[in-house]
């Protein structure tokens, strides 16, 4: 009887914590495609962004982009973000990705494997903390983009 009462109490506390947890905002842009290309120690991740809204958007990476944009794989390998193409970071929104209403754009992230393993990876997981500015709004909305798993295409 005591065990049943404890289980009931724990389930009630768990339900209360779940109900009180802040809701995660949806990703404000649509990702229509992911391409991963590998060549030696380098991995190029390309994302096809889309703005499904009727409001212009600018999207940028969170400050400290190398620490907040990460690539992982199915081997014990680590990666360093070397460069970005089509999207920038920092306080100057001039370097951010600008998407007009219903517009599409592709951005890329170049990573380098720190210590290449003998076994090549077969799947990658991409995570990036980004921020968005919408239309005439004065606030910048942070969001996290997490895509997994992506299968790499070998370089030609």
pLDDT digits (tens, 9 = 90+) for 86-127: 998 877 778 899 999 999 999 999 999 998 878 888 889 999
Task: Find the range with the poorest average confidence among 6-15, 42-51, 119-128, 129-138.
Answer: 6-15
Is 111 part of any domain?
Answer: yes
**pLDDT value, residue 43:** 93
Owning domain of residue 71: 26-151
Residues 6+ apart with CB under 8 A from 14: none
| Residue 10 pLDDT greater than 80, yes or no | no
**pLDDT value, residue 42:** 94
Is 156 part of any domain?
Answer: no
Strand partners for 131: 60, 142
Query: Mean pLDDT over all residues of the chain?
Result: 79
Residue 14, token pair as written in the block = 């768990």
Stretch 123-145: mean pLDDT = 84
Most confident of 19-33, 55-69, 76-90: 76-90
- Write the CATH number for 47: 2.60.40
Segment (H or E) for 14: helix 2-20
**pLDDT value, residue 2:** 40
Number of H helices, E strands in the chain: 2, 10
Between β-strands 30-39 and 42-50, what pairing exists: parallel, antiparallel or unpaired? antiparallel
Is 130 part of any domain?
Answer: yes
Is 13 part of any domain?
Answer: no
Task: Find the range with the poorest average confidence among 18-22, 95-99, 115-119, 137-141.
Answer: 18-22
**pTM, to two decimals:** 0.76
Is 20 part of any domain?
Answer: no
**Total domains in the fold of the chain:** 1
pLDDT digits (tens, 9 = 90+) for 29-59: 888 989 999 998 999 999 999 999 889 999 9
| pLDDT bucket at 153, cuts 50 / 70 / 90 | low
| Residue 83 pLDDT greater than 90, yes or no | yes
Is 51 part of any domain?
Answer: yes
Strand partners for 150: 124
Is 9 part of any domain?
Answer: no
Is 147 part of any domain?
Answer: yes
């Amino acid at each position: 009887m005591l065990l049943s009462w404890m289980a009931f109490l724990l389930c009630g506390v768990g339900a209360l914590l779940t109900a009180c947890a802040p809701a995660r905002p949806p990703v404000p842009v649509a990702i229509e495609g992911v391409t991963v290309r590998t060549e030696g120690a380098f991995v190029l991740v390309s994302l096809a962004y889309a703005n499904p809204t009727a409001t212009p958007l600018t999207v940028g990476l969170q400050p400290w982009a190398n620490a907040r944009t990460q690539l992982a794989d199915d081997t014990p390998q680590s990666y360093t973000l070397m460069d970005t193409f089509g999207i920038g970071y920092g306080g100057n929104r001039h370097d951010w990705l600008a998407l007009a209403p219903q517009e599409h754009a592709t951005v890329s992230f170049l990573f380098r494997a720190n210590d290449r393993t003998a076994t090549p990876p077969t799947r990658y997981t991409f995570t990036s903390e980004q921020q968005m500015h919408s239309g005439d709004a004065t606030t910048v909305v942070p969001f996290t983009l997490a895509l997994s798993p992506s299968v790499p295409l070998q370089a030609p």
